[in-house]
């Protein structure tokens, strides 16, 4: 019902929709230090104001929840469906080639820029779905609300703020995954660990290492400083390590110090196999150098045995596992700081439904303790699962099938979305299953045709669930 009208409307507004996405993507909405009235800094604040102004200009009722979250309502009828999206982004990162992070460009039917796929593009697709239903004057008996958050990438305190005063809708989807329907999200363990050791001034030595940008980002570029290592040894280690790991190394010498920059491939931590971890590559490099024997160096070697380069399944930590519903456990070593007397690191592990505190958390704790590391975690994030046979999920799958001609089915993913803690929330769109949007990596992009068809699918879902 209304398929022809919806398709014609969205097609007619395609360019306008792309321009609105670009407007939001030009705003650097990385989390920044708090300012009065700006809980996540000026970038997230600006993005929220712009998005709400955009929605209001299209005739929607908007509400601002203390600059944590904004909402867009299509009517004042009973609450039925929420579309839960976010306007914040991960840090820009290194390695952009097609464009700079906050200068969105269209090339080869793709829209490149930070936030184009995660999650500003899908958020605007949701807004245009609501515009289509509103401006086509399709009668509704229930309300649809677009919720726009600003802290999804850094803990979702925004949405906690929102749900402290608002109830969950009977049905919620987040366009922050992929089609068809993601009804299962893995649990997680952000494993934070420490170690201490006696300082040493023996030469040659590691002076400093601080790597990674966020726990949920596979590092694509990291650096360390060493002192007293001959250039020939540095170049040999770089050559050997590049052959072994595929990581590229840049060397800069100044006096007795040398800065080593490892360049790999960034990725979303839920799909670590899609990147090439520069942090673990750098550890391989350091273990090949003729550094003076000391507790610091010995500790780094032990760390590399626990999380070796290329081990994205937690085999060395003893936690590799999988199940039919949610797939394999994944692991990304994302943050590490090494000083002369201690180190602190964090890995991001996405855990299938079969994972428990005993077979993951306590196993990691035991195996790390045996090598001299202390795991500080005392809990894990539980997995999320919604019944794939519900009327809600069947309605989403039917709309997907109608507009794509593909078979709809439920899938699982490692990435956690806003709906992870909602009783009846799933991820739905806004990319096709085979598309790698380079989320959290350099040259993030959204396929324009996929954004357009997403808006059509979302509009159909609104009609089918809220009429």
Q: Among 344, 375, 406, which residue terminates a domain?
A: 375
Range of the domain at 263: 189-375
User: Is the same domain home to 141 and 50?
Assistant: yes
Is pLDDT above 80 for 203? yes
For the domain that residue 198 is a member of, what is the CATH number?
3.30.70.360
Assess contact for 442 and 278: CB atoms under 8 A: no
Cα 164 → chain centroid: 24
Nearest to 437 by CA among 312, 279, 316, 271: 271
Is pLDDT above 90 for 155? no
What is the maximal distance between C-alpha atoms in the chain? 77
Can you give the pLDDT at residue 318? 98
Confidence of residue 197 (pLDDT cuts 50, 70, 90): very high
Can you give the pLDDT at residue 419? 92
Section 63-67 average pLDDT: 98
Is pLDDT above 90 for 94? no
Section 196-222 average pLDDT: 95
Place of tokens 């020939």: 232
Section 140-145 average pLDDT: 98
Nearest to 60 by CA among 122, 5, 123, 131: 131
Confidence of residue 85 (pLDDT cuts 50, 70, 90): very high
Nearest to 22 by CA among 56, 44, 50: 50
For the domain that residue 408 is a member of, what is the CATH number?
3.40.630.10
Is pLDDT above 90 for 93? no
Can you give the pLDDT at residue 158? 97
Q: Dump pLDDT digits (tens) for 367-397.
A: 999 999 999 999 999 889 999 999 999 999 9
Q: Dump pLDDT digits (tens) for 246-276.
A: 999 999 999 999 999 999 999 989 999 999 9
Can you give the pLDDT at residue 43? 98
Can you give the pLDDT at residue 88? 97
Give the Cα separation of 6 and 331 in Å (integer).
42
Contact residues for 69 (Cβ-Cβ < 8 A; gap 6+): 48, 147, 148, 149, 150, 158, 159, 161, 162
Can you give the pLDDT at residue 373? 98
Whether the CA torsion 400, 405, 406, 408 is positive or negative: it is: positive
Assess contact for 310 and 245: CB atoms under 8 A: yes
User: Is the same domain home to 107 and 243?
Assistant: no
Can you give the pLDDT at residue 346? 98
User: Is the same domain home to 127 and 157?
Assistant: yes
Q: Dump pLDDT digits (tens) for 171-185.
A: 999 999 899 999 999
Section 197-221 average pLDDT: 95
Give the Cα separation of 1 and 465 in Å (integer).
12
Give the Cα separation of 319 and 293 in Å (integer).
31
Whether the CA torsion 44, 49, 52, 54 is positive or negative: it is: negative
Percent of the chain with pLDDT over 70: 100
* DSSP letter (8 states) at residue 211: E
User: Is the same domain home to 131 and 206?
Assistant: no
User: Is the same domain home to 388 and 299?
Assistant: no
Quote the mean pLDDT of the chain. 96
User: Is the same domain home to 369 and 392?
Assistant: no
Can you give the pLDDT at residue 332? 97
Section 410-431 average pLDDT: 90
Section 235-240 average pLDDT: 96
Question: Poorest-confidence range of 78-82, 377-381, 418-422, 462-466?
Answer: 418-422
Confidence of residue 365 (pLDDT cuts 50, 70, 90): very high
User: Is the same domain home to 200 and 179?
Assistant: no
Can you give the pLDDT at residue 453? 98
Q: Among 316, 348, 375, which residue terminates a domain?
A: 375
User: Is the same domain home to 40 and 171?
Assistant: yes
User: Is the same domain home to 434 and 455?
Assistant: yes
First and final CA of the chain: distance in angstroms? 11
What are residue 225's DSSP bridge partners?
Answer: 208, 259
Number of domains in the chain: 2
Nearest to 204 by CA among 290, 118, 84: 290
Give the Cα separation of 212 and 200 in Å (integer).
25
Give the Cα separation of 185 and 174 in Å (integer).
12
Percent of the chain with pLDDT over 90: 93
Q: Is 4 exposed, middle or buried (0-12, 13-18, 19+ CB in 10 A)?
A: exposed
Give the Cα separation of 349 and 330 in Å (integer).
5
Give the Cα separation of 263 and 302 in Å (integer).
23
Can you give the pLDDT at residue 413? 84
User: Is the same domain home to 34 and 96?
Assistant: yes
User: Is the same domain home to 135 and 213?
Assistant: no
User: Is the same domain home to 241 and 321?
Assistant: yes
Is pLDDT above 90 for 98? yes
Q: Among 321, 349, 375, which residue terminates a domain?
A: 375
Contact residues for 304 (Cβ-Cβ < 8 A; gap 6+): 280, 283, 284, 287
Is pLDDT above 90 for 130? yes
Q: What Rg value do the Cα atoms of the chain yield, rounded?
A: 24
Can you give the pLDDT at residue 325? 85
Give the Cα separation of 53 and 185 in Å (integer).
33
Give the Cα separation of 173 and 146 in Å (integer).
10
Q: Dump pLDDT digits (tens) for 425-452.
A: 999 999 999 999 998 889 999 999 999 9
Q: What is the DSSP string of 57-85?
A: HTT-EEEEETTTEEEEES-SS-EEEEEEE
């Amino acid at each position: 019902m209304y398929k022809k009208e919806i398709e014609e409307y969205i097609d007619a507004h395609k360019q306008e929709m792309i321009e609105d996405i670009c407007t939001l993507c030009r705003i650097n909405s990385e989390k920044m230090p708090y300012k009065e009235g700006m809980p996540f800094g000026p970038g997230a604040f600006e993005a929220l104001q712009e998005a709400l102004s955009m929605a209001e200009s299209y005739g929607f009722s908007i509400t601002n929840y203390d600059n944590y979250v904004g909402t867009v309502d299509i009517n004042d009828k009973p609450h039925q469906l929420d579309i839960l999206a976010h306007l914040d982004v991960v840090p820009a990162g290194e390695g952009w080639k097609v464009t700079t992070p906050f200068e969105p460009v269209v090339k080869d039917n793709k829209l490149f820029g930070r936030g184009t796929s995660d999650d500003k593009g899908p958020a605007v697709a949701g807004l245009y779905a609501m515009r289509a239903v509103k401006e086509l004057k399709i009668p509704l008996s229930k309300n649809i609300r677009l919720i726009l958050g600003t802290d999804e990438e850094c803990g979702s305190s925004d949405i906690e703020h929102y749900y402290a005063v608002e109830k969950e809708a009977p049905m919620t989807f987040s366009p922050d995954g992929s089609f068809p329907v993601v009804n299962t999200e893995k649990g997680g363990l952000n494993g934070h660990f420490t170690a201490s050791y006696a300082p040493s001034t023996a030469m040659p030595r590691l002076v400093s290492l601080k790597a990674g940008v966020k726990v949920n980002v596979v590092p694509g570029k990291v650096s360390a400083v060493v002192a007293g290592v001959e250039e020939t040894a540095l170049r040999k280690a770089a050559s050997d390590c590049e052959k072994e790991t595929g990581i590229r190394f840049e060397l800069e010498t100044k006096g007795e110090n040398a800065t080593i920059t490892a360049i790999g491939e960034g990725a979303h931590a839920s799909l670590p196999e899609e990147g090439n971890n520069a942090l673990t590559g750098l550890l391989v490099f350091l273990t090949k150098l003729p550094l003076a024997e000391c507790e610091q160096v010995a500790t780094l070697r032990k760390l590399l045995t626990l999380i070796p380069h290329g081990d994205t399944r937690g085999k060395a930590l003893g936690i590799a596992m999988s199940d039919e519903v949610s797939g394999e456990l994944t692991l990304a070593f994302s943050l590490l700081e090494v000083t002369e007397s201690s180190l602190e690191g964090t890995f991001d592990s996405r855990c299938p439904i079969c994972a428990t505190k005993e077979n993951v958390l306590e196993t990691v704790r035991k195996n790390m303790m045996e090598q001299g590391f202390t795991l500080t975690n005392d809990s894990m994030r539980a997995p999320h699962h919604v019944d794939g046979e519900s009327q809600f999920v069947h309605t989403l799958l039917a709309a997907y099938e109608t507009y794509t001609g593909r078979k709809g089915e439920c899938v699982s993913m490692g990435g956690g979305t806003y709906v992870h803690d909602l009783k009846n929330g799933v991820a739905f769109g806004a990319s096709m299953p085979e598309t790698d949007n380079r989320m959290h990596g350099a040259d993030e992009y959204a396929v324009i045709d996929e954004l357009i068809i997403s808006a059509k699918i979302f509009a159909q879902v609104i009609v089918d669930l809220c009429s």
